[in-house]
Amino acid sequence: MRPSLALLRKDLLLERRAPESVPAMLLFSLTTFVLFHFGIGRDEVTGSLAAGVLLVTLLFAAILGINRLFVSEHEEGGFDAVLMAPIDRTAFFFAKAGALFVFLVLVEIVAMAGFSILLLGVSPWPTLPGLILVLVLLNIALSTVGTLVSALAIQTRARDLIVPLVGLPMLVPALIAAARACAPLFAAGGPGSIPGKWLLVLGLYDLVFGLLAYAVFEFLLED
């Protein structure tokens, strides 16, 4: 864990000193909420529509962060340094997935405030415990798959195209499960209970793709 934490600390310090990913993701999220506010001609959304608007916006914002995840290593020789270091190569995967998870959490804190002001038709406070649970599971999925896809695409000339073309289809099941789980939380009559089967689907998705990414990441790094 020490190599992973050291690499994670490096990524967070770089983002703090020269912010790139988080501001871009945040600006995209807030701009999209403004567009939805005026585009659908409604001041308030509830239920499935609210869940869909929120989660689709966060998904596309995450794609911006995924595109930039390995850029510094690619441009400054970081891959060679990790390959030569006497550490488990998967430590690099955990560090990058952890950094993306932190970026998503920071974006969601501010984005949820903007979403509540611009679009949400119900009070956000009663929904917070359930929403946090769903977003944590979704963030794990985004971080795991995003790190894997970013590592696959970074060595290609068309990485800006490869990430959405490969990543979005892989993330569709997680997005559907998260949207179905969130929909009762935004019900017009007050938040309902989260369907357990959709939480189970999200958890299973995280487990399967987490194991898959762990198994193949070292081969991607070496190639």
Q: Which residues of the chain have pLDDT under 50?
A: none
Token pair for 5 = 């934490």
Check residue 81 and give its pLDDT.
Answer: 65
Q: Dig out the tokens for 34 from the structure.
A: 């403004």
pTM over 0.85: yes
Long-range contacts of 152-159 (CB under 8 A, 24+ apart): 152/220, 154/69, 154/70, 154/71, 154/73, 154/74, 155/74, 155/223, 159/67
Per-residue confidence (pLDDT) for residue 190, from 0 to 100? 75
Secondary element (H or E) of residue 38:
helix 21-39
Region class of 14: left (phi > 0), else alpha (psi between -120 and 50), else beta: alpha
For 44, 101, 149, 190, 201, the CA distances from 187, given in Å and listed in that order, are 12, 28, 34, 5, 21
pLDDT computed for residue 25 by the predictor: 95
pLDDT tens digits for 48-95?
A: 999 999 999 999 999 999 998 888 776 666 666 666 766 677 888 898
Residue 95's identity, in one-letter code, is A
Report the pLDDT value the prediction gives residue 77, as an integer from 0 to 100.
63
What's the total number of domains in the chain?
1
How far is the CA of 70 from the CAs of 19, 40, 151, 208, 218, in angstroms? 15, 36, 7, 23, 15
Print the domain residue range for 209.
2-222
* Torsional sign, CA 90, 91, 92, 98: positive
